[in-house]
Amino acid sequence: MPTTVVTTTYLEQLSRDDLLPAHVPEGVVVVRAEVPSPELSRFLYATVGGDWYWIGRLGWSRDRWAEYLARPMVETWIAYLHGTPAGYIELSGVSTEDRTEVEIAYFGLLPGFLGRGVGGHLLSVGLDRAWTLAERWEGAPAVGRVWVHTCDLDGPAALATYQGRGMSVYRTETADEDLPDQTPGSWPVR
């Protein structure tokens, strides 16, 4: 595998008041997948991330997916455009004694839905749901921080989309990454 220099940018919100909502495109609704489904989550991960080197979870077994999705404060929210899945955002919360922090573990759109305004709205809803995540999990302290990381292997609009919703950069780092010659794509090659 060739080595590539990758720049990763970390962003955060420290207050729900920092959220800058995007326009709601006609026909878009965002719904929580309340029943953990390894098949659905793997489909979303592989299809959304296929063009962006999302490879870390491709080898996960069904049991590993099920175990991860059953963890407290892991939520998957799916954007639908006129009833068709268009993208998703995965939230992963961790609590300390005094606050909950929520990572946007994954966020993106299926290839056919890029450039339609769905992503900004999905991220707006996802950030709002991140700020209220502790309210849906008994005993969790209030959310005090929402964060995400993106890199220059993600979609070209990713960083601007996060900043457009009110997230601020707090760290940037560069590292060498061993990557396959090409992305896995969203369709298996046989």
pLDDT digits (tens, 9 = 90+) for 139-167: 899 999 999 999 998 988 999 999 999 99
Number of domains in the chain: 1
Confirm whether 184 is domain-assigned.
no
The torsion of the CA quartet 157, 158, 162, 163, rounded to 10 degrees, works out to: -50
Confirm whether 190 is domain-assigned.
no
Confirm whether 14 is domain-assigned.
yes
Question: pTM of the full predicted structure?
Answer: 0.94
Asked whether the predicted pLDDT for residue 1 surpasses 90, the reply is no
CATH number of residue 133's parent domain: 3.40.630.30
Domain extent, residue 14, equals 3-178
Asked whether the predicted pLDDT for residue 60 surpasses 70, the reply is yes
- 95 token code pair: 């609590």
What is the share, in percent, of the chain residues with pLDDT greater than 90?
84
The torsion of the CA quartet 23, 24, 26, 29, rounded to 10 degrees, works out to: 160
- Give bridge partners of residue 176 from the DSSP assignment: 5
Taking only the tens place, the pLDDT of each residue in 104-118 is: 999 999 999 998 999
Confirm whether 132 is domain-assigned.
yes
Taking only the tens place, the pLDDT of each residue in 3-25 is: 889 999 999 999 999 999 999 99
Confirm whether 66 is domain-assigned.
yes
